[in-house]
Amino acid sequence: MGLDSLLIPAVLFFALGVFAKLINSDLKFPEGMTKGIGIYLLLAIGLKGGIALNGADLGLALSSILWGVILGFGLPLIGYFILRFRNKISKFDAAAIAAHYGSVSAATFLTAVAFLEVSGVTYETYPIIMMVIMESPAIIFGLVIAAMVRKQMAATENAQGGQAEQVKTEWGPLLKEAFTNGSVVVLLGAMVIGAIASPEALDKVKPFTQEIFMGVLCLFLLDMGMEAAKKADTLKQAGVTLVSFGIIMPLVGGTIGMMVGISILGFSVGGAFLLAILSASASYIAVPPVMRYGVPEANSSYYLTLSLGITFPFNVVVGIPLFYQMTTMYAAL
């Protein structure tokens, strides 16, 4: 399967969105439309996962959940240490950025699913569960690191005789937002509905959730292409170190996810590939508002530019075919 197999309508519409923005086209979506499309896509993929999980292996499902938590905490930890190498990035910026790279991008995952379906490759649905699980641990990681840094700074100021103003971390609202995020609720709720609803009833919604799925995904990626192109102007502000991280971290995370999927969870090539894509992606919807509120010391332009302007297009154009080839080769060893 070569690079030509990536020339699917969804990816081409993403490229069209980028092109439209670069030529300053007046193309834009009505207000609220993108959010509605995103909810639909999460609902459709959640239902599909729930239907497949109805007869799934309980042991493998629990193992997938466990490794979703491990990756959710482990990947941002790796990202934090990479960012803090040689102390070029502040601790607050490193914590906020790392949280984005432990969480996931549903759009990247959906594009990967489209890639597999167009290519006729089967896959397990356990990565859908892991996509839900991996949202919150990374957010919690970023908040905890930021709170620890504040405490350390306050202790240093006090030791030096200064009057440091201690910033109180309000854990209740932050954790509530992490666990009740709309994307998580829709995806998890749709999975439960797909698992418990009768097959006869679910057949009636198939035209809505399956037959138009690819077309709606094309619309979503058209808008994402325009949004990604908007971040091109801020790349200079991010600097070489951060731009490099936006490419290096997906390669590190995706490789780890691929190895976990094949060697530990025993997924097929398709399932392990999806886990690699989850581990390589960076959130740009769920995490930014939490970090903006919970870690106000961090520069929001950094993590928004990295996740949406660098890592997302890198994964869509390069990461998807690269990780598929890597997973195929690793599974053959």
Query: DSSP assignment of 207-268, as one string?
Result: IIIIITHHHHHHHHHHHHHHHHHHGGGGHHHHHHHHHHHHHHHHHHHHHHHHHIIIIIS---
CATH number at residue 117: 1.20.1530.20
pTM assigned to the model: 0.82
Average pLDDT for 317-331: 95
Burial of 167 (0-12, 13-18, 19+ CB in 10 A): middle
> Is residue 73 very low, low, confident or very high in pLDDT (cuts 50, 70, 90)?
very high
Q: Are 93 and 255 a contacting pair, CB within 8 Å? A: no
What pLDDT is recorded for position 166? 54
Torsion of CA 213, 218, 221, 225, to 10 degrees: 180
pLDDT one-digit tens code per residue, 238-267: 678 888 999 999 999 999 999 999 999 999
pLDDT of residue 165 exceeding 60: no
Cα 114 to the center of its chain, rounded Å? 16
pLDDT one-digit tens code per residue, 274-308: 999 999 999 887 788 778 878 888 888 788 888 98
What pLDDT is recorded for position 171? 63
Percent of the chain whose pLDDT exceeds 90 = 34
CA distance 23 to 31: 22
For CA atoms 272, 273, 275, 276, the dihedral sign is: positive
Q: Which has the minimum average pLDDT: 1-10, 38-47, 136-145, 295-304?
A: 1-10
The DSSP letter of residue 6 is G
The DSSP letter of residue 32 is T
Percent of the chain whose pLDDT exceeds 70 = 88
The tokens for 204 are: 């009636």
Q: Which has the minimum average pLDDT: 28-42, 70-84, 220-234, 304-318?
A: 220-234
Type of residue at 113? V
CA distance 13 to 75: 30
CA distance 69 to 73: 6
The tokens for 33 are: 């439309």
pLDDT of residue 328 exceeding 80: yes
pLDDT of residue 2 exceeding 50: no
Number of structural domains found in the chain: 1
CA distance 69 to 131: 10
pLDDT of residue 78 exceeding 50: yes
Q: Are 191 and 46 a contacting pair, CB within 8 Å? A: yes
Range of the domain at 290: 3-21+30-332
